Structure 1
Amino acid sequence: MTAAQGTRRTRWAAGSAVALALLFAGVATVATARGDAADGKQPQAASAAVRAPATDSADAGFARDMAVHHQQAVEMSFIVRDRTQDEEVRRFAYDIANTQANQRGMLLGWLDLWELPKVAVAGQEPMAWMTAHGDHDEHGGRSGGDGHDMAGMDGMAGMGDMAAGSGGGFTAHDGALMPGMATRTELDRLRKADGKQAEILYLQLMTDHHKGGVAMARGCAELCTVKAERRLAQGMVEAQQSELDAMAQMLSARGSEPR
């Protein structure tokens, strides 16, 4: 297979996965809206209108930013599946691609449901919602309203330092728009690597990616107001923490470690 064919295959596979995820997410978001409306004993249209977040809300910001973050994880996972024959890494990469494509579809589906743009408005930095809403204390000390304990979460001040544009924080560069995202240079290295080298680089890049994703998901679990989105964010935290442990073990088995 040529490099061009491999790139087309990766893009086709990633695009197909996201398309399917969007299809399923459309059903899920409508079902969620109906369920929430029934709980509130309000007509569906009126209930959705009341609960639709603002464009600059934490809910909308998280949905947009995490959709971008997830898309790169899907891309990296499909790349490594073509660069190694190791079944453990290939299965792990497929699971991440499948899970994050599905979650990305849900996030974009919610933005559609709320009739909000899927891309940030001009001049709005990625993760700006974390600093803009980080001083709100309406959710401080709560259990999440859905059974999730928020007591163990990091302080919002620490999350604010992760946001782009904040003093001493992350600055977008070489295609990496948010903390944890791989640069274009790193993605090119992954595309050219083979075998064990590709496995180690993928696991290291995905470890960084998960750490950035966990910080952002914690921000939504603390700041988002839509219960279904908060539950999804908390689920991301728990699942990706488990995957971070698994990747550390896989790196150790290959004589390496996280960067």
Structure 2
Amino acid sequence: MTSEDTGRQPRSGTTATRAVVLAVAVVAVLLLGAAVGLLIKLPGSDSAGTPGKDSVDIGFAQDMAVHHLQGITMANTARDKSTNPAIRQLAFDIESTQLEQVGRMKGWLTLWGAPEQSTDGTHMKWMTSSSHDHSSSSDAGRAGLMPGMATSEELAKLRSLSGTDLDVYFLQLMLRHHQGGAPMAEYAARHAGVPVVRTLADNMLKSQSSEGQYMKQLITERGAAPLP
């Protein structure tokens, strides 16, 4: 029996259509977030009140956008490959939320006339008056990957897995990712100069803490443990 006999589209056509729909959705969400970032009336948004290039506001927006984009990549992999409804829903929620937040932060950077990423390739230098623990995180950011981020080898492994192995590894990587980004959000929530930046950072901290607890539960239910 052919696909014409069953009335179904060939699998390749379905996959291609799904990819196009996903790409359009990603662009739409990013544009929406950027529009929100640009349209919000920022206190002191004139040239005299624009955050300085070394400010917490700009550094946080640059680094957290990069951090989020990897989280979106991992969530997209899990949403497409997992067959478990709870994992797929969690991945969708993370992807949708972080896409909007990335768009918002990039909108602010455009408004401030700042580059989307650190020009010297380093991260977290804006966490200058941090505690010892935060300083350690900052050192890790300068050395390469920001805390919690997966290596290219780990991302490749995630893409290679399926079934429960995929679900567990996704949860482990994403939990570590959330935990690694928490010090940045906490620091920005306390020290950013622009109120809406502090609010966004605080909201990230709260939502990701809640998601982290849920991921720990899902990991335990699958007889596994968080990554060391």
- TM-score normalised by length of structure 1: 0.76
Q: In structure 1, give the amino acid aligned to 2:79.
A: R
Q: Between Structure 1 and Structure 2, how many residues are aligned?
A: 214
Match of 2:165 in 1: 197
The CA distance in 1 between the partners of 2:65 and 2:25, in whole Å, is 13
Deviation string, structure 1 residues 103-156 (Cα, Å, up to 9, x no partner): 00000000001111112112x52111112xx1xxxxxxxxxxxxxxxxxxxx63
1:224 to 179, 192, 202: 192
For 1:1-259, what aligned pairs fall within 5 Å after superposition? 9=19, 13=22, 16-33=24-41, 36=43, 47-122=45-120, 125-131=122-128, 134=129, 156-164=131-139, 171-172=143-144, 177-259=145-227
Alpha carbons of structure 1 residues 239 and 207: separation in structure 2 relative to 1, 3 Å: same
**Conserved 8 A contact 1:48-1:114:** no
Once the two structures are TM-superposed, the CA of residue 17 in structure 1 deviates from its matched residue by 4.5
Once the two structures are TM-superposed, the CA of residue 205 in structure 1 deviates from its matched residue by 0.1
The structure with the greater share of residues assigned to helix is: 2
The DSSP-based 3-state class of the residue aligned with 2:69 is helix
The CA distance in 1 between the partners of 2:30 and 2:49, in whole Å, is 21
Q: In structure 2, give the amino acid aligned to 1:23.
A: L
**Conserved 8 A contact 2:37-2:106:** no
**Conserved 8 A contact 1:18-1:105:** no
The CA distance in 1 between the partners of 2:26 and 2:55, in whole Å, is 24
**Conserved 8 A contact 2:60-2:184:** yes
**Conserved 8 A contact 2:30-2:103:** yes
The CA distance in 2 between the partners of 1:226 and 1:18, in whole Å, is 27
Deviation string, structure 1 residues 72-108 (Cα, Å, up to 9, x no partner): 0100011112222100000000000000000000000
**Conserved 8 A contact 1:200-1:256:** yes
Q: What are structure 2's unaligned runs of at least 5 residues?
A: 1-10
Q: Percent identity?
A: 36
Q: What are structure 1's unaligned runs of at least 5 residues?
A: 38-46, 135-154
Q: In structure 2, give the amino acid aligned to 1:171.
A: A
Once the two structures are TM-superposed, the CA of residue 24 in structure 1 deviates from its matched residue by 1.6
Alpha carbons of structure 1 residues 85 and 67: separation in structure 2 relative to 1, 3 Å: same
Once the two structures are TM-superposed, the CA of residue 16 in structure 1 deviates from its matched residue by 4.0
The CA distance in 2 between the partners of 1:30 and 1:58, in whole Å, is 19
**Conserved 8 A contact 1:190-1:198:** yes
